[in-house]
Amino acid sequence: MRQYFIAGNWKMHKTVPEAQALAQELVKSLKDGPNKYMIAPSFTALDAVSKIVKGTNILLGAQNMSTDEQGAHTGEVSVLQLKDLGVQVVILGHSERRHIYKEDDAMINKKVKLALAHGLEVILCIGELLEEREAGKAEAVCEEQTRKGLEGISAEELKKVTIAYEPVWAIGTGKVATPEDAEAIHAYVRKVIADMYGKEAAENIIIQYGGSMKAENCAGLLAKPDIDGGLIGGAALKADTFTPIALCK
């Protein structure tokens, strides 16, 4: 039986004191929660938040990382630096990285390999644009991103990978895929994993939904058999909006 994985992506929000305050609230509210949890503050707050969540049931996540361990990469943050701060999970391939900062599948795959080589868990984000969905290409886009993102990843390494399906048109827009629409893509991606790695791996992999999940719609989404949690954006920025999602059973 797969365990729900509820992750909060704080994006470019929160000063260090604000991040500390939110982390402290979540440590209290999720202390006895039934699910797996992660929060991903901005790079500037990772050190401070790390000290708060250490030893709790909340994993520390980062929102991105460099393709390289170290070197002349101005403005980048390396896997070594993340591990030094206590980061346990890294979000890779988020639609904002793909579409605003033009990260392609090859770059994302390189990051996935590097993160796994250093023992980090990975949340690999996939998802289609509105025009791709309207053209009937949603499944094809998600399959390509999944296959290319996981290229060269072993079945053993896959155990540390979570996939997050994010319909790009539903991120930060207030729009949300219906539970049926989301389930259809989740089930399809699980078939892709079965083709790549076998039935057991497909049954075990966690596939989150990301895209305007909130307290009002989380139960309907999480009731679907192939939706295993959420990668939460806007609703993750306050304890009183994130906690109800995090405590869903």
Catalytic sites, residue numbers: 94, 166
| H or E stretch at 121 | strand 121-126
Q: How far apart are CA 249 and CA 244, in angstroms?
A: 10
Task: Let me know: does 163 contact 124? Beta carbons within 8 Å.
Answer: yes
Q: Is 115 helix (H, G, I), strand (E, B) or coil?
A: helix
Place of tokens 């989380």: 218
Other Cβ atoms closer than 10 A to 74: 4
Please tell me the distance from the alpha carbon of residue 63 to that of residue 11, in angstroms, as a whole number.
7
d(CA 242, CA 246): 6
Exposed, middle or buried, 151 (CB in 10 Å: 0-12/13-18/19+)?
middle
